[in-house]
Amino acid sequence: MVVVFGAPLFEEASGIGALGIDLTSLIVYLVNFTVLGLILYFMAYKRIIGMLDSRSDRIRESLEEAERVAQESEEQQKTMQKALDDGRQEGQRVLAEARDAAERYREQQAEQARAESEQILNRAREEIKQERDAALESVRSEFAVLAVSAAEKIVKRSLDINAQQDLIDQVISESNVTKEQI
């Protein structure tokens, strides 16, 4: 039986009292729980919610920062890859130009060497021709002198074939020209 200020509030046999629940204690517990809930709400809940919101904001900012860093990293990686590709292409272009320049230089040097060798060969041929012509001219003039000299001597005297041959041999030996040169 519940007594409030000396008067019974409910009979024990009816309703809640029959279940073994003391209504006064229940009301006190409910008031205490409500007061405690209000105290916690005004004193701790706002702080806890503020801390949780702050932590949530920090986590969200960290995730956004991580996303931004990942995007920057991806952009830098793409930029580096493009720079590497450009570098490779530039290197290949420079290498191709160097090969072309080397090939042109080699061909130029080969052409120059061919031209120089052709000039040397032409000069040598010209010199050989001039020396041969000079030698032939010298042999001709000496032979002409020998022939004239031999003719004079033959005319001055009438000789037989053996005497003529001896005379020709004598003239040739005097002029230092051998029979092979004639």
In sign, the C-alpha dihedral spanning 73, 79, 82, 84 is negative
Total domains, the chain = 1
Strands 2-4 and 7-10: antiparallel
pLDDT at 61: 95
Question: In this structure, is residue 57 part of a structural domain?
Answer: yes
Q: Is the pTM of this model over 0.75?
A: no
Tokens describing residue 122: 């032409």
Question: In this structure, is residue 180 part of a structural domain?
Answer: no
pLDDT at 1: 45
Tokens describing residue 88: 């490779």
pLDDT at 2: 46
Q: Quote the domain boundaries for residue 92.
A: 2-175
Per run of 10 residues, the mean pLDDT along the chain (length 182 residues) is 49 66 89 92 84 94 95 95 94 94 94 93 92 84 74 66 76 65 53
Question: In this structure, is residue 145 part of a structural domain?
Answer: yes
Query: Quick check: helix, strand or coil at residue 87?
Result: helix
pLDDT at 14: 62
Question: In this structure, is residue 88 part of a structural domain?
Answer: yes
Question: In this structure, is residue 99 part of a structural domain?
Answer: yes
* Separation of alpha carbons 46 and 119, rounded Å: 106
* Separation of alpha carbons 104 and 98, rounded Å: 10
Q: Are 146 and 171 in contact (CB under 8 A)?
A: yes
Question: In this structure, is residue 181 part of a structural domain?
Answer: no
Question: In this structure, is residue 182 part of a structural domain?
Answer: no
* Separation of alpha carbons 18 and 22, rounded Å: 9
Tokens describing residue 41: 């709400």
- Between vectors from CA 99 to CA 96 and to CA 103, what angle results, nearest 5°? 140
Q: Are 10 and 2 in contact (CB under 8 A)?
A: yes
